[in-house]
Amino acid sequence: MGASNDRIDRRRTSASSPVGPRGLTLVLCLLAAAGVRAAPDGLASSRDDEQSATQASDGEQAKSTAVATTDDRRKRKHWDYSRFDNGPRRVPRRRGRSLERAERLGIGGLEATRAILRGQIPQALREEVPGARPQQYLWPVVGGRWGRGFGYTRKLRKSLRHNGIDIGAPAGRAVRAAADGLVVYSDNSLRGLGNAVVILHPGGAVTLYAHNGRNTVQPGWRVQRGERIALVGSTGIARGPHLHFELREGGRLRDPGPRMAGYRSSELEGPLVELEPKVSEPEMAEAPEPVDTPRKFKPEATPAPAPPPAPPGPLTLDRASANAWLHAPSGHRDDASLGESFSDLLWPLKGGSLSRPFNQSSHRAVDFRGAADTPVRAAADGQVAYAGPGPDAYGTVVILQHRSGWATVYAGELVPAVTSGERTRRGQWIGMLRATTSNAQPHLHFEWLEGGQRRDPAQLFRALPAR
* pLDDT winner (highest mean) among 72-86, 97-111, 366-380: 97-111
Rounded to whole angstroms, how far apart are CA atoms 81 and 77?
9
Which one-letter DSSP state was computed for residue 133? P
Rounded to whole angstroms, how far apart are CA atoms 174 and 28?
104
Could you tell me the pLDDT band of residue 276, with boundaries at 50, 70 and 90?
very low
Rounded to whole angstroms, how far apart are CA atoms 410 and 384?
11
Could you tell me the pLDDT band of residue 271, with boundaries at 50, 70 and 90?
very low
Domains, the chain, in order of start with CATH, read 96-281 (2.70.70.10), 319-462 (2.70.70.10)
Query: Between β-strands 396-401 and 443-450, what pairing exists: parallel, antiparallel or unpaired?
Result: unpaired
- Per-residue pLDDT at 305 exceeds 60: no
Helix (H) or strand (E) holding 407: strand 406-412
Buried b (16+ CB within 10 A) or exposed e, 208-217: bbbbbbbbbb
- Per-residue pLDDT at 14 exceeds 60: no
- Can you say whether the dihedral through the CA atoms of 97, 100, 106, 109 is positive or negative? positive
Q: Which of 440, 316, 442, 285 is nearest to 388 (CA)?
A: 316
pLDDT for res 296: 41
Rounded to whole angstroms, how far apart are CA atoms 149 and 156?
14
- Per-residue pLDDT at 268 exceeds 80: no
Which one is predicted more confidently, 319 or 12? 319
Question: pLDDT of 212-267, one tens digit each?
Answer: 999 999 999 999 888 899 999 989 888 789 999 999 998 888 888 778 875 444 34
Rounded to whole angstroms, how far apart are CA atoms 352 and 348?
8
Query: What number of residues does the chain have?
Result: 467
pLDDT for res 81: 53
Round to the nearest angstrom and report the end-to-end CA distance of the chain: 152
Question: pLDDT of 29-52, one tens digit each?
Answer: 666 655 545 444 444 445 555 555
Rounded to whole angstroms, how far apart are CA atoms 28 and 466?
117
pLDDT for res 80: 52
* Cβ count within 10 A of residue 241: 21
As a three-state string, the secondary structure of 187-228 is: ECCCCCCCEEEEEECHHHEEEEEEEEEEECCCCCCEECCCCE
Helix (H) or strand (E) holding 2: helix 2-16
Which one is predicted more confidently, 423 or 34? 423
pLDDT for res 277: 33
Q: Quote the percentage of the chain above a pLDDT of 90.
A: 25
Half-sphere exposure of 200 (CA within 13 A, CB side): 35
pLDDT for res 255: 86
